[in-house]
Amino acid sequence: MKVLIVGPRWIGEWVQGVQRAALNLNVTPVVFYYDTPFAMTVERTINRVNRLAKVRLMKMVLPGALMVSRAWEDQMNRRLVYLCRRTNPDVVILLKGETIKAKTLEAIRFSNRHLISWWFDNPLQYEEVKIQLEFLTAFFVFDRYYFGPLKDCGARRIEYLPCAFDPALHRPQIVDRSTRDRLECTVGFVGSFYPERGRLLEAMQGLEVGIWGWDWEYSRELKSFPERTWRAKSLAANEAAKVYQLAQICPNLHHSQTRDGGLNTRTFEIPASGGFELVDQPAGMDEHFEIGKELITFSSPEHFRELTDYYLAHPEQRQEIVEHGRSRVLRDHTYQKRLEQIFERLDGI
């Protein structure tokens, strides 16, 4: 079987994880990246400056950048059609795919080829996705909440498929002294800022905290922490795995797009890396983990701090939970497991 994997150059290496999973299943993967490098470069450059300068730059630069991006996307869509016709895959998997045009999907959907989409976040934030639906064999989404809205938009077959992790990236590693000096901390968090995470940070006063992620300059809570707390705006996936392994506590707080079973990738990546996870408890968590044995959940910032203090004082209990959590994700939550689930469900179509 040959599979064409179409996805973004995401820092979490989603495409690469699915590619490696396909190879493990003796499936031939072909990879195509759809995102726009020019627009990404412009956006990242603008995000490095202060807020006032950012507003001015957005007005000056963004219109031209968007025009170039649209031209690039048109050419990218043509290249995707050409690649699909040249390689003739049995299955095309869109990992997100918000810049893939409906006419492109119409052009590559022929023979008995399966054309599916798999989303890790809210798919309805992009109008193009709603137009894509009529051309898809199945729509796989990480959270069951989106079933109703997707049906209303015309999706014919919707499947629940949670996030996952890549064992090649997220695993315990041998870490040298210089890496320890750079990444080690008592509480280690890798993720972008939003207000709920700022309130959680406030409960960490007095602890050595390390943060890697975008937009923390907007956190008023961060101002009362030492300068070294926010260490970088981004971190490669293999480096994030080292943070999870080195930190004694790894917080995880879900975005509001998680409604019903939509656990983020971090939920699986932390235990896979050998990290101790303290996570909020969205609906559906107990479907994927035995709470209290494989990971620990908190109900409020105050509860988070209470649990943090307890488990910092009980490292043996912490390690036992880490071992149970890692065993669970290796058994049930790898990209290989998810790819097997996709193929099994497609066989029934």
140-155 confidence digits (pLDDT tens): 999 999 999 999 999 9
Cβ atoms < 10 Å from Cβ of 222: 19
CA distance 116 to 94: 6
- The torsion angles phi and psi of 101, rounded to 5 degrees, stand at -75, 150
- Tell me if 323 sits within 8 A of 274, measured CB to CB: no
| CATH class of this structure's domain 177-332 | alpha beta
- Reduce the DSSP state of residue 224 to 3 states and report it: helix
- Tell me if 307 sits within 8 A of 207, measured CB to CB: no
- Those residues of the chain that have pLDDT short of 70 are 36-66, 68, 111-112
Task: Report pLDDT for 70.
Answer: 78
Task: Report pLDDT for 43.
Answer: 57
Task: Report pLDDT for 167.
Answer: 98
Cβ atoms < 10 Å from Cβ of 36: 22
DSSP 277: E
Task: Report pLDDT for 51.
Answer: 54
CA distance 68 to 77: 14
Type of residue at 32: F
Domain with CATH 3.40.50.2000 in the chain: 2-164+335-347, 177-332
Task: Report pLDDT for 127.
Answer: 87
Q: Does the domain made of 2-164+335-347 have the CATH classification 3.40.50.150?
A: no
Query: pTM (2 decimals)?
Result: 0.91
